[in-house]
Structure 1
Amino acid sequence: MASKRFVDSNRDNAGDFNGESAVTQSCEPCMKTNISKTATVFCKDCDEYLCDTCKNPHTVYKPGQHNIVNSQGSKSSSVILDMKGMDKCHEHAREIEFFCQDHSKLCCLSCVLIHRKCDQLDEIAKVSRQTRPELQALKHSLIKLQSEADDFLADCKQSETGLNESIAKISSEVDTMKDRIIKLFEEAKQKLISEAKQFKIADVKRIRNKRDASLKVKEELNKVLSMCCVVLDSGTPSQQYIYSELMKEKRKTIESAMDDQRKIKFLSTMTVSFPKQVTSLLEMGSNSIKLNCVGNKTVDTSPISLSSQSKPVTLKLLVSVDLPKTGDDKEKPFLSGLDFLPDGRLVAVDNFNMKCIILNERLQRLGTPYKFKSIPQSVVCVSHDTLCVTGGGGYKTVCLLSVSTDNTITLTRKINTTSLFISICCMSPSHMVVSTHYDPRPVRMISVDGVETDFDHILTFPKKTYQGDESACTYVQSKNTLVLTDQLAHTVFMYDTVNGTSRAVTNENIQEPRGACPGPGDTVLVCSKDKHSIVHLTIHGTILGTYPLDMKFPYIICVSKDSTRLAVSNCAEGVKKLHLYKISPAMS
């Protein structure tokens, strides 16, 4: 058991100091060999007191630089140290003189009475000589922690400064990009206007030439017609016969001139088309710019890179749902129109129950469907929150609907039209392309302001009037390509609306084509109704692939704005379905 001789070892050195300690500094190397020798010098680099004997070996054999200074006294160095009450027992307010190893507790004379039975009770005055190396190690570790804390503070300050600078830099970069885009659009606009003016000059010249030629023909006709009337009224039979024979040749000449004039066509209107990259930017709205946080590795999960080239793809079925009658439905749903909102929600038009429905990625209904007053036909998303629906609210109409983030659908405008429209798709941010029925013009254009125009001056369509759902259209904006399906002719027509050229695509895999939509990489996807499949085509008519479906008679199709999802519904009697597929690049 440790010695319990209760001696106040500090009292002999305390003198008249109140609450202070007088300490004689001893040579530390000597203390390690249990020799008590007064230190005469101090090494600042090693933080060590030395006697004269130990000074020279210390500087010679111990590595490092040694800044040796005289101790504060040759025989004794008294340091007055205020322990701030740490050398007092908190319980008894007496000086601490012992340490109980059993309880790891500093003790005063009063505490010792409680710990007298402990196995190891050390008198601090006897064991303290061995403490200095531990205290020095503790000091160095505290200095290291202090330095690390300083690094933490500097890092915090640097990070905060970096965030402030990043925000300023982000704002500057966005402004720079905005200015570049505005400049680019201004340059594109000037180029476009210049081209339009040049085209106008050339066309005006042709118009005036035709007008002058037509005036001459008309003058000639006036003369001939005037003479013809006189001969009929006053001429003898012989004169009438002679004039009649002469006028046969004259009429041929006039008719030939008229035929030449009929062949000359003019562009009465000009429109502008925007590439898919621009319209996609508008559809994305405020989500068009992504924040990249380097520390957290937040990245822009861009669409898969399918938009640059026309390549085959693979379809993976994600969700399949049957379309039973639910709620207030009078009939089993028939989805005659589909399109994706930019945020990924799916919009569906229920033709039989006259509704517009919002669906999530699991094809579950969101919010309350919008109820039309009459049969809707097709739907297209023209901006991040605006839909155009043909037929809704009146047969010869196009309804503009607004969709909120909480899936509330509101009618914002109703446009009365002169034709009966079926399918609808975007041609530009302000113009749609629509297919008709019971109209000799199978495809027409309509603006968001309700202005209707025709393609007749640049395109030649099949000379037939489609009835019901015998045809549908779509438009590949980046390639200015109009697509028209002819169900009964088993043909897909593709028209270059800039050059006025066209091609008819027929194939054994294209049987009763119905709905069509732009696909990844400036391609076209078409429902082959009687083959129960989807056909993937380039705009030049090359078939990239066919995809059999687990549904009969696919009817309508659409692809998400990022080209990663495809939705398709069918028109089979009694077994109507809706499928959602993932689009991926086909492996080489």
Structure 2
Amino acid sequence: MASKRFVDSNRDNAGDFIGESAVTQSCEPCMKSNISKTPTVFCKDCDEFLCDACTNPHRVYKPGHHNIVNVQDHKSAPVILDMKGMDKCHEHGREIEFFCQDHSKLCCLSCVLIHRKCDKLDEIAKVSRQTRPDLQALKQSLIKMQSEADAIIADCKQSETGLNESIAKISAEVDTMKDRIIQLFEEAKQKLISEAKQFKTAKGKRIGNKCDASLKVKEELNNVLSMCCVVLERGTPSQQYIYSEQMKEKRKTIESTIDEQRKITFSSTMTVSFPKQVTSLLEMGSNSIKLNYDGNKTVDTSSISLSSPPRPVTLELLVSVDLPKTRDDKKEPVLSGLDFLPDGRLVAVDNKNWKCIIMNERLQRLGTPYKFKGSPYCVVCVSHDTLCVTGGGSKGVCLLSVSTDNTITLTREIKTTSKFFSICCMSPSNMVVSAFDNPRPARMISVDGVESDFDHFLTFPLKTYKLDESTCTYVQSKNTLVLTDQLAHTVYMYDTVNGTSRAVTDENIQEPRGACVGPGDTVLVFSKNNHSIVHLTIDGKILGTYPVDMEYPVSICVSKDGTRLAVTNSVRGAKKLHLYKISPAMS
């Protein structure tokens, strides 16, 4: 009897078998596509079963010689299937011949002695002729599990690659932040030294004047003292008397001059002080930078114990100005974007007059506005002197630099594939933007111009927003993306790490427009129709609502230290800009 051992993994799983008689096969190339098709030929050189459709591609594309015969000719000799020990009893090493249904156990002749009293003990040779096991279904399930295992392996490799890329990205971002901090401190040092030298020059003049005056007094005293000694030693009583009387007034004048010079005091030393933010950073040490990752539960407990839950706030109006059309404006201004520089200056972009404007704490214009080629939409401050502006006459982002003397200069234009409206910071090198005329309402862009999308597990509304129908902001410490849907009266909160989301609706939220991060990692959103600001936690809880004395507010921003709030509106003939002081509400 000729024998053949099957070594191909697909053929090991391929058919039903009975004893040693035959094996029901399928076309092996078709099986790789989960298709069961009866073979018509067999390639002896490749040891492979084929159907009619696969025979010719096998000859043409597979290298080597192919001795192909009909399946009937190949099956003329019976095939003995090597069961690889599966047909042997593990306990006794004998052939398996029985199946005990009471115990669901395959048995050999030795096992039968133990199971002889069982009610259902079947001889396999007999029952197998009556009931054939459904190995085809078993094969399909095994192939499916194999595919799932492959998918898991591929996912593991992708995750490993992602982790490696994340480490490189983290290192680059930390280096970028370090370089920016070093640059910031170097610039602050140079500014400090310059101010110290100016102070020294001014004080040096006053010190020189004091010293010159004292030298003159000393010179005069030397002359007077010399004459006094001569008169005292050689003068007659009459001369001594006359000199003494004449010197009384002179003495008073000299004493008065010395007293005046003595009162002029100067500090001989200068010191430097650092803001609380810097000293707090030093106190935190290596804990100043935290790692965010999926499932991270090891949050800095010191920050938890010192922090308090989000609280309502009170708004105190500090300054309010009207925004009429000025001599150099063609239209009434619409400040579609606002943000604060770290030093407290307010930046605004005028959508109608294509300008970027700098203002002081009294909302007075500083310097000369920068003129764009087209309408700007929104602005964000990404460093102490760098601004990013969406729009500006093209599909892209403009990078501007702002000097201490309020000079605004274009440093670079980034061309983008999408149209962006609102913009906010996500990290030192990445920003989040709201996109319009695009099925992806929120995207990311780096300061180098690299565009990217959020992970696929973030489910955005199935709609394409028009200009000004949706804005976004990003709560960095909470990894939370905030997206407003004006026409749906909804604010969406997305956890970008865990992939969860929350849709916030409330009667206080009517046509939400501008949004920004508020005190304590909360969110402030304009309710256009209610003419108010809605204060939210990232969990969707409403902490309070604050009416503003303006119709249809559109733009909002909070200062870097969280103490001031700027808002503006877009009503024709009644445009305003307000500056508020933010304070915690009294409990």
Match for residue 412 of structure 2? 413
1:512 aligns with 2:511: yes
Match for residue 332 of structure 2? 332
Displacement after TM superposition at 1:457 (Å)? 2.6
Displacement after TM superposition at 1:554 (Å)? 1.1
Q: Is the 8 A contact 2:29 2:54 kept in 1?
A: no
CA displacement, residues 456-512 of structure 1 (integer Å, 9 cap, x when unaligned): 334221111111111100011111111111111111111111111111111111111
CA displacement, residues 256-302 of structure 1 (integer Å, 9 cap, x when unaligned): 9999999998776756588xx999979975669999x9x99997675
Distance 1:450 1:475 in 2: 19
Change (3 A) 1:222 1:251: closer
Match for residue 582 of structure 1? 581
Change (3 A) 1:559 1:330: same
1:220 aligns with 2:219: no
2:543 counterpart SS class:
strand
Match for residue 568 of structure 1? 567
CA displacement, residues 121-159 of structure 1 (integer Å, 9 cap, x when unaligned): xxxxxxxxxxxxxxxxxxxxxxxxxxxxxxxxxxxxxxx
Distance 1:343 1:350 in 2: 21
Question: Which one-letter code corresponds to 1:327 in the other structure?
Answer: R
Distance 2:470 2:540 in 1: 18
1:553 aligns with 2:552: yes
Distance 1:468 1:554 in 2: 16
Distance 1:337 1:329 in 2: 17
Match for residue 160 of structure 1? none
Distance 2:555 2:361 in 1: 18
Question: Which one-letter code corresponds to 1:317 in the other structure?
Answer: L
1:456 aligns with 2:268: no
Match for residue 322 of structure 1? 322
Change (3 A) 1:413 1:298: closer
Which of 547-556 and 323-332 deviates more?
Answer: 323-332
Identity of aligned residues (%): 66
1:478 counterpart SS class:
helix
Question: Which one-letter code corresponds to 2:334 in the other structure?
Answer: F
Question: Which one-letter code corresponds to 2:545 in the other structure?
Answer: T
Change (3 A) 1:416 1:563: same
Q: What do you get for the CA RMSD once the two structures are aligned? A: 4.3
Distance 1:446 1:474 in 2: 14
Structure 2 counterparts to residues 110-149 of structure 1, below 5 A = none
Match for residue 369 of structure 1? 369
Change (3 A) 1:480 1:252: same
Structure 2 counterparts to residues 187-202 of structure 1, below 5 A = none
Displacement after TM superposition at 1:390 (Å)? 0.7
Question: Which one-letter code corresponds to 1:446 in the other structure?
Answer: I
Displacement after TM superposition at 1:522 (Å)? 0.9
1:357 aligns with 2:169: no
Q: Is the 8 A contact 1:282 1:384 kept in 2?
A: no
1:471 aligns with 2:470: yes
Change (3 A) 1:456 1:384: same
1:405 counterpart SS class:
coil
Distance 2:405 2:528 in 1: 35
Distance 1:486 1:262 in 2: 37
Q: Is the 8 A contact 1:319 1:363 kept in 2?
A: yes
Where does structure 2 lack aligned partners over 5 or more consecutive residues? 1-27, 38-49, 56-135, 194-266, 281-302
Q: Is the 8 A contact 1:421 1:434 kept in 2?
A: yes
Distance 1:485 1:462 in 2: 11
Change (3 A) 1:419 1:283: farther
CA displacement, residues 60-89 of structure 1 (integer Å, 9 cap, x when unaligned): xxxxxxxxxxxxxxxxxxxxxxxxxxxxxx
Change (3 A) 1:302 1:458: same
Match for residue 378 of structure 2? 378
Q: Is the 8 A contact 2:528 2:554 kept in 1?
A: yes
1:406 counterpart SS class:
coil
Change (3 A) 1:252 1:426: same
Match for residue 502 of structure 2? 503
Distance 1:413 1:343 in 2: 23
Q: Is the 8 A contact 1:279 1:429 kept in 2?
A: no
Distance 1:508 1:228 in 2: 69
Match for residue 401 of structure 2? 402
Q: Is the 8 A contact 2:478 2:521 kept in 1?
A: yes
Match for residue 438 of structure 1? 437
Displacement after TM superposition at 1:374 (Å)? 1.3
2:520 counterpart SS class:
coil
Q: Is the 8 A contact 1:554 1:569 kept in 2?
A: yes
Structure 2 counterparts to residues 190-269 of structure 1, below 5 A = 220-221=32-33
Displacement after TM superposition at 1:415 (Å)? 0.6
Change (3 A) 1:281 1:261: same
Distance 1:566 1:228 in 2: 77
Question: Which one-letter code corresponds to 1:339 in the other structure?
Answer: D
Change (3 A) 1:422 1:548: same
Match for residue 84 of structure 2? none
Match for residue 39 of structure 1? none
Where does structure 1 lack aligned partners over 5 or more consecutive residues? 1-215, 232-246
Change (3 A) 1:458 1:410: same
Displacement after TM superposition at 1:545 (Å)? 1.0
Q: Is the 8 A contact 2:430 2:447 kept in 1?
A: yes
How does the TM-score come out when normalised to structure 1?
A: 0.53
Structure 2 counterparts to residues 385-396 of structure 1, below 5 A = 385-394=385-394, 396=395
Change (3 A) 1:220 1:441: same
Q: Is the 8 A contact 1:366 1:407 kept in 2?
A: yes
Displacement after TM superposition at 1:252 (Å)? 12
CA displacement, residues 397-437 of structure 1 (integer Å, 9 cap, x when unaligned): 11100000011100000110000000000000000000100
Question: Which one-letter code corresponds to 1:586 in the other structure?
Answer: A
Match for residue 5 of structure 1? none
Question: Which one-letter code corresponds to 1:585 in the other structure?
Answer: P
Displacement after TM superposition at 1:219 (Å)? 6.9
Question: Which one-letter code corresponds to 2:337 in the other structure?
Answer: G
Distance 2:528 2:342 in 1: 28
1:378 counterpart SS class:
strand
Distance 2:583 2:180 in 1: 19
1:531 counterpart SS class:
coil
Distance 1:365 1:534 in 2: 26
Distance 2:182 2:556 in 1: 22
2:376 counterpart SS class:
coil
Displacement after TM superposition at 1:328 (Å)? 2.0
Question: Which one-letter code corresponds to 1:554 in the other structure?
Answer: P
How does the TM-score come out when normalised to structure 2?
A: 0.53
Change (3 A) 1:585 1:297: farther
Change (3 A) 1:321 1:387: same
Distance 2:30 2:335 in 1: 55
Distance 1:571 1:283 in 2: 39
Displacement after TM superposition at 1:314 (Å)? 0.7
Query: How many residues are paired up?
Result: 355
Distance 1:352 1:343 in 2: 27
Distance 1:278 1:585 in 2: 33
Displacement after TM superposition at 1:313 (Å)? 1.0
Structure 2 counterparts to residues 31-180 of structure 1, below 5 A = none
Q: Is the 8 A contact 1:280 1:561 kept in 2?
A: no
Distance 1:281 1:375 in 2: 33
